Structure 1
Amino acid sequence: MTPTKEFRKSLFKTFLYSLLSLFLIPVITLGFVKYAEPNNDARFEEWIAADIAKDVRMSAEERSERVEFFRSHPPSAMCDNRDPDLLKYQEGVCAQYSDNWQFHMAHKVAFWTVVAGGVVLLAVLVLGAFAFADRAAQYRSFVAGWQLMRFTSALEVIVQGGMLVWLSFWLTAYFLEHYSIKLILIVGLGVGAAVLLTVFSIFKKAGNDSEVDGELISAEAAPALWERVRELAARLKTAAPAQIVGGIDTNFFVTESPLSVNGKTLSGRTLFVSIPLLRLLDQQEADAVLTHELAHLRGGDTASSALLGPKLVQYDQYCYAMATGGLTIMVYYLLNLYRVIFEIALKRDSREREFLADKIAAKVISGKAIVQSLIKIAAYARYRSQIEQNLFEQNQKHGGSLGIAGYVASGLVPYATSPDFVDEMKNARVPHPFDSHPLLEERMRNVAHAVPEQEYGAVVTSAPGTTWADAILTAPEIEQRLWTAYEAQFAAAHEHSLAYRYEPANDEELAIVLKYFPTIAFDLKKDQQIIISYAGITAPGQNEIPWDSVNKTKYEDGIGGDVLTIEHPEKGFFGAKTTKIKLPGLGKQKENFKAAFGHYWQRHQVMRRGQAGAA
């Protein structure tokens, strides 16, 4: 699995951003201190020399010696002084919280932050490399990495945030000879919020349950299937699943993580089977798939995933919080760097597990059976995806039953015999919810059973004899319920997308747009309102501004009332034409107003992009 050029470029960018996030602020602090301290020393020397020159009690030689003493003992060098004879001088020029003391402490903190950043970066790379050793090392690497990232990210926000507050005062005070209380407060509040968010996110618990649409298949409803699963598990010398869940998704999988089905959380070993795919596979092909999945149980794959999964979820949630938390972005990139490295190790291990499970299935059942099942599953998944995409791209609201299952069942054979079928299957992967499966061609080589490309269609179109779907007494009812629910969700999602696509041309289209984008009014002072609709925004006493006339916006908070400035595409006398909308009395509605404005404007932009793409 050779990394693509785009992936290598993305990885390099992540590494570069990690370097910047670790070292940019402390290096700027170091640079500023290195620049300012000699100037401060020079000013002190100039002042002290002038003061000594005024002292008529000293001889010229004494004055010269005194000036030389201060030149050789500048204030910047005195904070680390250990000479008891210079203690009084040290206390005078480096008193706690004095300017000189602040610069000295800023230098020390920035220097050791750079050193610590280098150590942490090295630790991240070592832990990332350790994750490639084996599965046990992978788990230990992630646990250690997560603990390290939690501690260092919190510390980095506190320390670098402190530097930012310090710089917000001293950069302006030093170069502009005045400072901005507002700037210091803004930076300080931002840093405080970042610290609180970091600590809160560290201790926030992540939900561990995955959810799948399906129904339990009891032993009474499918005794032969259960017997076969237990028999295969016994041959692999592993415990059989505690429950089998039937669904209509285009995959099979096993898990030992908590799994939510119809509002009920299942624990222990769970096998998910796709009833539509069971109808497509003959029993031997299905046995190969079941053996493949049970091999994951035997190999400890699912136990490992159950152990690691919740930690990965928590880590990813923490990364997201840091990426979207304002100043916490400074710690996100290093977190992401470790996550990317770990994901590479995880994907490599996943491929190896898939190859091993395929080999076990080929040994227990046959190479032919596992390969044919892979071809059929990949073909079904691709064709169903095409059907659903075509249905979703339609610009008319779907009414009644969509009949997705019927479309797939009746169209799979023509699809498998079409001229484009072989080309589409060349890069086919078998879908799976928990990992990245290798290419079909690689999996065929792994089990030493190759099917020529020109025979793919024949494999898919070969009618199965007896199937395990026939052995599930409740299969038709389960499929009917699940397809009905799935198509209702599909139709709702499609209707929602139409609300983004339509520029209403009739009452039906208008009704759909208004269902998701109703006209909203926000109260202002003097019984006035500002109105947002799918068509545009209307301010008190003004004509509606269509969304096509909105190019950019700027929202400004004001004491007497907020102001929304809209920049139009047209040019005025001095640059772009603008309209200022005063919003007195908006008050607590401000955030809702901003969200609604952005949401409705985005709808219009999506609609225009869709029209441009269809042109």
Structure 2
Amino acid sequence: MSHPHEDFSRLGFAKTFFLPALLIFLIPTISLILFIYIQGAYDREGRDAALQQIRADQSLTAEQRANAEELFSNVPFSQLITIPGNEDMVSPQAAFDYTTFRWAIRFSLFSIIGGIVVILLSAFCVVASLRSQWIQYVSLSVSWHVLRIFGAAQVLIQGVLLFALSFWITAFFLERYVPKLMVIVGILALVAIAAVIKSMFMKLNNETVVEGTVIERDASPALWQELSAICAKVDTETPDQVIAGIDDNFFVTEQSLTVGEKNYYGRSLFVSLSLLKQLNGREADAVLAHEMAHFSGNDTLYSQKISPLLVRYDNYLQGLYEGGVSLPVFYFMNCFRALYEVSLKRLSRAREFRADRIATEVTSPRDMAGALLKIIAYSSYRVKVEQDIFQKEEVLENANVSQEIAQGFDNYAGSFMSTPDISHLRTSHPFDTHPSLEDRMKAVGCSLESPDSQVMLSEPGDGQWFQKIDGAEQLEDEQWKEYEERFRAYHEETLPYRFLPETDYELAIVLKAFPEVQLTGEEGLLTIDHTGIKHHPWESPVQFSDIQSCQMDDKGRLNFTSTGGAPSKINLKKFKDSDQQKVIEAVERYYSRYLAAKEYQEHVKQPGSTDDE
């Protein structure tokens, strides 16, 4: 018997992914029914005309007349004209119409039957992918190639069917056709086809940039010696390179990485300098054994193979989504992408439990559990510190993220076990997902509810592995300095988008980034500032707070509709060619700033809100 939450999740999946996927059958089903109906009407009309002619033909004998009547009564007209020698039975226009019906029916049937076949094949591949990483890679590769070809064919076929429908629905039922409708549908179909073709052949940027420093073997021999010992216990080769950074995670990968200005290939290990300081030697052993276990299980090898397929799949989905009339095909493809995500997460979960198990065998359950608690607690506290600093509504002289973490982490760790939803927290990772903290603790034989969890979390780290990296303190300080400067600069860039200035301080921040813009055209001076727009022909300025809509018409005029005021226009043709785009960009940039600030004030700074919202 299934659990209620499982039934709900299945129902949610059906509503979100499966039912929309069935829309792929909508256009071909409508086309099949409609063109069979229209062809049948043409058949009846042709049959009646032929029978009338046979009965009026006095040159026929009774037997010939009877045979002819039987033939035209029992064999559809659309089939008779396909028999060699019967081409002259209908006019060239009627022959063309019948050819249209015949191919529309064929395309519709191909689309429907093909969709059913691809559903069965893809479903089989998804189920098979749950068995192992190798089968997952092979099944995903097969499915990707089948689905992208099928998706492209469906977009082409359904575009043709839509174009045919745009003519025949009005021509048959209303006895008239609408050229404008046909042109619009034709353009939409071409746009969808072009978007799909572009997404299929677009060259993708698979570069992965990692912030950090590569630790050479001869630069930190103690690190590499200890790492070799861990690898020997896990039964795997040492990584090709170790990258030390300040991100709040550890990870391994076989994808190509860009560190600084140099590309690195092969097996890479990323270690967090900041986290190594928080861990004791055995906890760090457990973490690194966990990461090396991913190498021994070929987890990174299959991730490297699968990742490009997923990137191409997602890019293809984006093309289908942007294609407009290709949306039914998008929903169909998206359903199988979601199913594969379930498969990927399930095997990823199994990989993590395997790596945790190996790590506990190399060290101990307590060491692995203590490492998990400290890493997740540190990551949670770092997020909190960065949010608190970022929410400050003043220009920062220094971000001081690392200093805030160092000064407050011990106190935070003392209360971390009472954090709401702590059991659902996960370690961060740039490539894979991880099981929840509660599940991983149980898997290594420990419990979050145990008093020992708080003891493990409160034990200070000795930073043994941090000390094995020569010059670690300097490396960490330099990286934090660069990171905090980027953090401070980005914080300063966002400040003007938070204020509807009420003080001189806030006004100065806004004006620094959004000074008054003045452009002169044939109709006089145009002034744009943080409050609104002034234009010489207007009786009064248009305040951003009063604008209800802003649209460009086909005469090159920006039309503003304001609350309680007459429409106001800016005729771009009255400005120099070089200034027209400046007007558009200034209006868009300054009005967007106002809308962002309004949104911030209403939802972030509304009465009763807190900084944690």
TM score, norm. by length of structure 1? 0.87
Asked whether 1:19 is paired with 2:9, we answer: no
Tell me how far apart the structure 2 counterparts of residues 107 and 69 of structure 1 sit (CA, whole Å). Answer: 24
Cα distance, 1:48 vs. partner? Answer: 6.0
CA 1:422–1:584 in structure 2 vs 1: closer, same or farther (change >3 Å)?
closer
Letter in 2 for 1:464: G
Where do residues 312-351 of structure 1 align in structure 2 (5 Å cutoff)? 312-351=310-349
Asked whether 1:363 is paired with 2:361, we answer: yes
Q: Is the 8 A contact 1:523 1:585 kept in 2?
A: no
Q: Is the 8 A contact 2:286 2:363 kept in 1?
A: yes
- How many equivalent pairs are there? 600
- CA shift digits 1:512-561 (9 cap, x unpaired): 4456656677898x5678776543455672344333333345544x3xx1
Q: Is the 8 A contact 2:278 2:463 kept in 1?
A: no
Q: Is the 8 A contact 1:242 1:268 kept in 2?
A: yes
Q: Is the 8 A contact 1:209 1:265 kept in 2?
A: no
Asked whether 1:237 is paired with 2:244, we answer: no
- SS in structure 2 opposite 1:469? helix
Q: Which residue of 2 aligns with 1:9?
A: 12
Q: Which residue of 2 aligns with 1:469?
A: 466
Q: Which residue of 1 aligns with 2:457?
A: 460
Asked whether 1:30 is paired with 2:32, we answer: yes
Where do residues 87-102 of structure 1 align in structure 2 (5 Å cutoff)? 87-88=85-86, 91-92=89-90, 98-102=96-100
CA 1:59–1:298 in structure 2 vs 1: closer, same or farther (change >3 Å)?
closer
Tell me how far apart the structure 1 counterparts of residues 443 and 367 of structure 2 sit (CA, whole Å). Answer: 14
Deviates more, 1:489-498 or 1:140-149: 489-498
Q: Which residue of 2 aligns with 1:264?
A: 262
Q: Which residue of 1 aligns with 2:531?
A: 535
Q: Which residue of 1 aligns with 2:161?
A: 163
Cα distance, 1:168 vs. partner? Answer: 1.8
Cα distance, 1:127 vs. partner? Answer: 1.6
- CA shift digits 1:388-439 (9 cap, x unpaired): 111122222222x211111111111111223873435332222222211112
Asked whether 1:418 is paired with 2:420, we answer: no
Runs of at least 5 residues in structure 1 that lack an aligned partner in the other structure: none
Q: Is the 8 A contact 1:255 1:271 kept in 2?
A: yes
Letter in 2 for 1:26: P
1:612 to 592, 602, 605: 602
Letter in 2 for 1:383: Y
Q: Is the 8 A contact 2:236 2:296 kept in 1?
A: yes
Cα distance, 1:311 vs. partner? Answer: 2.0
Tell me how far apart the structure 1 counterparts of residues 76 and 527 of structure 2 sit (CA, whole Å). Answer: 66
Tell me how far apart the structure 1 counterparts of residues 459 and 52 of structure 2 sit (CA, whole Å). Answer: 102
Cα distance, 1:507 vs. partner? Answer: 5.6
CA 1:349–1:32 in structure 2 vs 1: closer, same or farther (change >3 Å)?
same
Cα RMSD for the two superposed structures:
3.5
CA 1:381–1:123 in structure 2 vs 1: closer, same or farther (change >3 Å)?
same
Q: Is the 8 A contact 2:530 2:590 kept in 1?
A: yes
Cα distance, 1:147 vs. partner? Answer: 0.6
CA 1:486–1:74 in structure 2 vs 1: closer, same or farther (change >3 Å)?
same
Deviates more, 1:134-143 or 1:320-329: 320-329
- CA shift digits 1:91-140 (9 cap, x unpaired): 52677862232123212221221111111122221221121121111000
Tell me how far apart the structure 1 counterparts of residues 400 and 209 of structure 2 sit (CA, whole Å). Answer: 24
Cα distance, 1:562 vs. partner? Answer: 3.9
2:400 to 376, 398, 403: 403
Where do residues 373-384 of structure 1 align in structure 2 (5 Å cutoff)? 373-384=371-382
Q: Which residue of 1 aligns with 2:496?
A: 499
Cα distance, 1:328 vs. partner? Answer: 3.4
Deviates more, 1:46-55 or 1:184-193: 46-55
CA 1:154–1:541 in structure 2 vs 1: closer, same or farther (change >3 Å)?
same
1:310 to 308, 311, 315: 308
CA 1:72–1:425 in structure 2 vs 1: closer, same or farther (change >3 Å)?
closer
Q: Is the 8 A contact 1:207 1:310 kept in 2?
A: no
Letter in 1 for 2:461: P
CA 1:62–1:121 in structure 2 vs 1: closer, same or farther (change >3 Å)?
same
- SS in structure 1 opposite 2:402? helix
Cα distance, 1:32 vs. partner? Answer: 2.1
Q: Is the 8 A contact 2:523 2:536 kept in 1?
A: no
Q: Is the 8 A contact 2:377 2:416 kept in 1?
A: no
- CA shift digits 1:145-178 (9 cap, x unpaired): 1111221111111111111111222223233333
Tell me how far apart the structure 2 counterparts of residues 583 and 53 of structure 1 sit (CA, whole Å). Answer: 73
Q: Which residue of 1 aligns with 2:135?
A: 137
Deviates more, 1:348-357 or 1:109-118: 109-118
Tell me how far apart the structure 2 counterparts of residues 287 and 269 of structure 1 sit (CA, whole Å). Answer: 19
Q: Which residue of 1 aligns with 2:434?
A: 437
Cα distance, 1:64 vs. partner? Answer: 9.7
Paired-residue identity, %: 33
CA 1:111–1:271 in structure 2 vs 1: closer, same or farther (change >3 Å)?
same
Q: Is the 8 A contact 2:198 2:319 kept in 1?
A: no
Cα distance, 1:278 vs. partner? Answer: 0.5
Runs of at least 5 residues in structure 2 that lack an aligned partner in the other structure: 607-613
Cα distance, 1:186 vs. partner? Answer: 2.5
Tell me how far apart the structure 1 counterparts of residues 462 and 476 of structure 2 sit (CA, whole Å). Answer: 20
Tell me how far apart the structure 1 counterparts of residues 466 and 224 of structure 2 sit (CA, whole Å). Answer: 12
Letter in 1 for 2:17: T
- SS in structure 1 opposite 2:155? helix
TM score, norm. by length of structure 2? 0.87
Tell me how far apart the structure 1 counterparts of residues 578 and 168 of structure 2 sit (CA, whole Å). Answer: 36
